[in-house]
Amino acid sequence: MIRFFAKHRHLITAVVAFVFIGAMVYFGVRMNRLRDMDIQSETYAGTAFGTAIKKNIYAENMGKCEELNKQIDDCLDSLEEQISVRIPESEIAKCNANYAVDGIYELSPNILGYLKEELAIAEETNGAYSPCIRPLSSLWGIEDGKTEVPAKKDIQEALEAVNVEDIEIVENGVKLHAQNMGLDFGASGKGIACDEVALMLADTQIEGAVISIGGSILTYGDKGDGRSWHIGIQDPRDKEGEVLGVVDVEGRKVISTSGDYEKYFEKDGKRYHHILDPATGYPADSGLISVTIISDNGLLSDAMSTACFVMGREKGMEYAETKGVDAVFVTSEKEVYVTKGIRKKFRLQADGYKLVK
């Protein structure tokens, strides 16, 4: 081997130099291209899915930013008209209002696809996640501003209609095997919206974007400089916009956060939040105040942030590792746990919290 290197050292040196120079030329061309492109950026605000929307778009000119902003709005509006329970004419709202027990209610292929994924998550989490939580969430009405704890008998009655085993997927639709059931994509809809927007952006000439849809954030591409996105995670015990920590992500990711601070009321010193436990009928009491899931799949990210919140830190982190996603768990004791994949990419910034390694 030594003789080989000695005999061919001039050839080997030339090859190494060629590769090195090629790499330098590539990165030089890349940086010159980025400088020449003079990427423009614009921020847009709006509402969809009952929450605030923020869109940071990076493109070659302002006209392209404007065009993409409209396309994103159209994409979100179209999806919301399909899956929102708050729109009476949506596909899901019509199903809830018009299905017949044990009868087949036809649903569009994409809706069925979402529902299949949700049922898989429900099974994997032993029911910590439920795509038919609507009767219970409607009873509590926390998202609608209600501030009263329902009677126990009413909660028990609602629980009878949130059994995922009463959902059966058939070839072109769904069978619901109990009365008063209600499908609800509320715990995954924002993640689904991120997926749909990402698919739409893939057909456009865009450098990058960061789209915030309530508790879910889509990152796509980059700013034209090839660098990571720095995404802030909300401090669950401070005012909106105050950051718990920052995580670095690259390219297309969806970062979804569920917490007891989003929608809640307090009564007799107890906080009642909107993340309901399908097993008890009450707001989840798992020792967590916030869960963030980072995934390539928006539906999975959004649904898992809810499921892991209900499951608690130990089971939730175990599930996150099993699914190959990254996560940030914040306990009621203000301890912060992160999965292995982002330990070097997460920076705790808020005072009063402890990063547990």
The DSSP 8-state label assigned to residue 283 in this structure reads B
- Residue 188 located in a structural domain: no
Q: Which amino acid belongs to residue 209?
A: A
Q: CB–CB of 195/297 below 8 Å?
A: yes
Average pLDDT, the chain: 91
- Residue 117 located in a structural domain: yes
The 10 Å Cβ neighbour count of residue 265 is: 16
In this structure, the answer to whether residues 49 and 172 fall within a common structural domain is yes
CA distance 134 to 263: 16
Which of the listed residues 176, 204, 237 is the one where a domain comes to its end?
176
Q: How confident is the model at residue 38 (pLDDT cuts 50, 70, 90)?
A: confident
Instruction: Specify the higher pLDDT residue, 273 or 4.
Output: 273
In this structure, the answer to whether residues 139 and 237 fall within a common structural domain is no
The lowest-confidence range among 24-38, 320-334, 342-356 is 24-38
Q: How confident is the model at residue 12 (pLDDT cuts 50, 70, 90)?
A: very low
Return the exposure string of 66-97: e unless at least 16 CB atoms fall within 10 Å of the residue's CB, then b: eebbebbeebbeebbebbbbeeeebbbbebbe
- Residue 193 located in a structural domain: no
In this structure, the answer to whether residues 239 and 348 fall within a common structural domain is yes
Output the CA angle 22-24-30, nearest 5 degrees: 105
Taking 70 as the threshold, does the pLDDT of residue 88 lie above it? yes
- Residue 333 located in a structural domain: yes
In this structure, the answer to whether residues 165 and 243 fall within a common structural domain is no
Segment 254-283 shows an average pLDDT of 97
- Residue 251 located in a structural domain: yes
Which of the listed residues 176, 203, 218 is the one where a domain comes to its end?
176
In this structure, the answer to whether residues 25 and 89 fall within a common structural domain is no
Half-sphere exposure (Cβ direction) of 24: Cα atoms closer than 13 Å: 6
In this structure, the answer to whether residues 267 and 323 fall within a common structural domain is yes
- Residue 73 located in a structural domain: yes
Residues 164-220 pLDDT 10s:
999 999 989 999 999 999 999 999 999 999 999 999 999 998 999 999 999 999 999
Q: Which amino acid belongs to residue 265?
A: F
The lowest-confidence range among 9-13, 213-217, 257-261 is 9-13
- Residue 221 located in a structural domain: no
In this structure, the answer to whether residues 153 and 33 fall within a common structural domain is no
Q: 318: Cβ–Cβ under 8 A, 6 or more apart, which residues? A: none
- Residue 28 located in a structural domain: yes
Segment 261-289 shows an average pLDDT of 97
The lowest-confidence range among 37-51, 58-72, 296-310 is 37-51
In this structure, the answer to whether residues 51 and 26 fall within a common structural domain is no
- pLDDT of 263 reads 95
- Number of domains the chain contains: 3
Residues 296-325 pLDDT 10s:
999 999 999 999 999 999 999 999 999 999
- Which domain CATH number covers 309? 3.10.520.10
Which of the listed residues 176, 193, 208 is the one where a domain comes to its end?
176
In this structure, the answer to whether residues 82 and 32 fall within a common structural domain is no
Taking 50 as the threshold, does the pLDDT of residue 346 lie above it? yes
In this structure, the answer to whether residues 144 and 239 fall within a common structural domain is no
- pLDDT of 9 reads 52
Domain that holds residue 95: 45-176
The lowest-confidence range among 29-33, 136-140, 150-154, 187-191 is 29-33
In this structure, the answer to whether residues 22 and 92 fall within a common structural domain is no
In this structure, the answer to whether residues 106 and 68 fall within a common structural domain is yes
- pLDDT of 153 reads 98
CA-CA distances (angstroms) from residue 150 to 139, 141, 147, 293, 346?
7, 10, 9, 31, 40
- pLDDT of 6 reads 47
Query: In the chain, which ranges are continuous DSSP H helix?
Result: 2-7, 9-37, 62-83, 91-98, 109-124, 134-140, 152-159, 189-201, 298-311, 313-323
Taking 80 as the threshold, does the pLDDT of residue 357 lie above it? yes
Segment 77-95 shows an average pLDDT of 97
